[in-house]
Amino acid sequence: MISRAIPVLPPDLTVELDLWRNGIHWVVGIDEAGRGALAGPVAVGAVCLPPDPQIADQLCGVRDSKQLEPAERLEWAEQIKVHALGWAVGFASNDEIDRIGIAPATRLAAQRALSALACTPEYLLIDYFRLTESDLPQLSLVKGDQRCLTIAAASIIAKTERDRWMLQIDALYPEYGFAIHKGYATALHLERILRRGACPLHRRTFAPLRNLASQKA
């Protein structure tokens, strides 16, 4: 038997088209980056695309950020910024994550992103979680960044802007290799933590850092 891989369909405008037809034009997609990292902030991207079906052709290569190579993400991030009616990124720091937890910190970053938008959202399309702090009508989609073009665009903006932040901060803590792993739990990162301990950017409530502190105690 010949095994054939199931083709991965690109995200589309199915949800957006339905909203646009019902007179809801300011539809904002929301997605996060850095939720599972051991260091640095969590970032949430917010993107509002024009209510025009042709945007699917203009952003035909946009995918869930995890499905793209770094150079592709940067290329499509620039195209998203050119074509979007508005885009923004909100951050919640590692200290805020440690203080209130990753889920509330992600929602806080989302609120900051929405506040920074140049347009006024009418409806939110969110990957997986609900923004309970907002009164705006919203739809939470499982694997939304793979299904919905507006959420996929937000995932690229969140990822590229967080990566940019980690690249800049690498100059302050070059011994940890943040420019390489962006704060995630790679073998290199874990080795540097074991050798040097935590720095001010690390999330001390996350298991590897919490366990290390317990061992030292």
DSSP 138-181: EEEETTHHHHBHHHHHHHHHHHHHHHHHHHHHTTT-GGGTHHHH
Q: Provide the pLDDT for residue 3.
A: 42
Q: What pLDDT score does 215 carry?
A: 60
Q: What integer best gives the mean pLDDT of the chain? A: 93
For tokens 């290569």, the residue is: 61
Helix (H) or strand (E) holding 119: none
Neighbouring-strand partners of residue 33? 43
Rg (alpha carbons) of the chain, rounded to whole number: 18
Residues 4-30 have a mean pLDDT of 88
**Interval 181-207 mean pLDDT:** 95
Q: Which residue has better confidence, 214 or 210?
A: 210
What pLDDT is recorded for position 213? 55
User: Interior CA angle at 211 toward 104 and 90, to 5°?
Assistant: 25
Q: Identify the band that residue 211 occupies on the pLDDT scale cut at 50, 70 and 90.
A: confident
pLDDT for position 216: 59
Give Cα separations from 61 to 56, 64, 76, 149 (angstroms).
Answer: 9, 10, 7, 10
- Which domains can be identified in the chain, with CATH numbers? 14-212 (3.30.420.10)
**Residue with structure tokens 């959202």?**
121
Cβ 72 vs Cβ 66: under 8 Å: no
Can you give the pLDDT at residue 29?
98
Residues 103-130: pLDDT tens digits?
999 999 999 999 999 999 999 999 988 9
Burial (0-12, 13-18, 19+ Cβ within 10 Å), 72: middle
CB 131 within 8 A of CB 125: no
**Res. 159: pLDDT tops 60:** yes
In angstroms, the CA 108 to CA 104 distance is 6
- Predicted confidence at residue 89, as pLDDT, reads 98
| Whole-number pLDDT of residue 207 | 87
pLDDT confidence band for 199 (50 / 70 / 90): very high
